[in-house]
Amino acid sequence: MTDQRVAFITGGARGIGRAIGLELACAGWHIALCYRTSKDDAEATCASIKAQKAEALMAQCDVSDPVAVAELVDRVQNKWDRIDAVINCAGPFRRAKILEETVGGWRSMFQNNLDPVFFTAKFAAPGMIERKWGRIISFSLANADHIAANTAITAHFIAKSGVLSLSRALAKELAPHGVTVNCISPGFIDSKSTPRAELDEVTTRIPAGYVGSLDDILAATRFLLSEQARYITGANLQVSGGWGL
């Protein structure tokens, strides 16, 4: 049993999830992260977390599988007796024109972007309700709150719009129990997963005039996890420098 905060981060092996895990480890949180295929990255991230004198747990988990999610939540809670924050960073991107999209590709965007937000909340929220404190943060897309005709990434766009709607429903349901549910919706962020040339090309379309950094995401995450944000729930915090407005 521990009195320290515990964060459960999906997609925590690299990119935004890794950065959040390291940030919270520096602040004294214990970190449980899961990955689907990036075992080497997950091991490296866990080693970095432990170097910060924090405890870490890593597991391979397909978060589109409710049974796997339930088992992992139980494993984390058995280890540390709690999950204080769920941070849904897993969410693969797929570019496909709508009439060229495959049935499998279409379904995978919902299974891997939207379904995990429901599954992690379903299995982790009961413990938060019992302790009267919790944070759930999910990642959407900076322009996903528009009802827009996005023909290039249609399935991904609709799934990320669904994350917003689901998060608002969870926020209303969990508010009486001291649990907040919010979204962070990034624009273009240099998370080292997008080629620099591509980021340079989109800079002219960003009103702020530059691509965001992982520090911008971390600042938003720190705030939503803090007591200063205790009365903020159902919010969608855009971190995009004005792109997508």
Q: What is the mean pLDDT of residues 138-165?
A: 95
User: Residue 199: what pLDDT?
Assistant: 85
Write out the two tokens for 33. 């992260």
Q: What is the pLDDT of residues 184-206, one digit of tens each?
A: 999 999 987 777 788 888 999 99
pLDDT digit string, tens, across residues 102-133: 999 999 999 999 999 999 999 999 999 999 99
pLDDT at 2: 53
* Cα angle for residues 107, 112, 118 (degrees, 5° grid): 105
What domains does the chain contain, in order, with CATH numbers?
Answer: 6-188+217-239 (3.40.50.720)
Confirm if 85 and 137 have CB atoms less than 8 A apart.
Answer: yes
- Residue 24 predicted with pLDDT over 80: yes
- Residue 186 pairs with which residues in a beta bridge? 239
C-alpha distance from residue 37 to each of 32, 43, 162 (Å): 16, 12, 25
Name the average pLDDT for the chain.
Answer: 95
pLDDT digits (tens, 9 = 90+) for 34-51: 999 999 999 999 999 999
Q: What is the pLDDT of residue 233?
A: 98
Query: Rounded CA gap, 210 and 207, in Å?
Result: 8
State phi, psi for 37 to the nearest 5 degrees. -130, -15
The token pair at 127 is 């413990």
Residue type for 88, please? Answer: N
Q: In the prediction, which pLDDT does 181 show?
A: 98
Residue 1 has a pLDDT of: 43
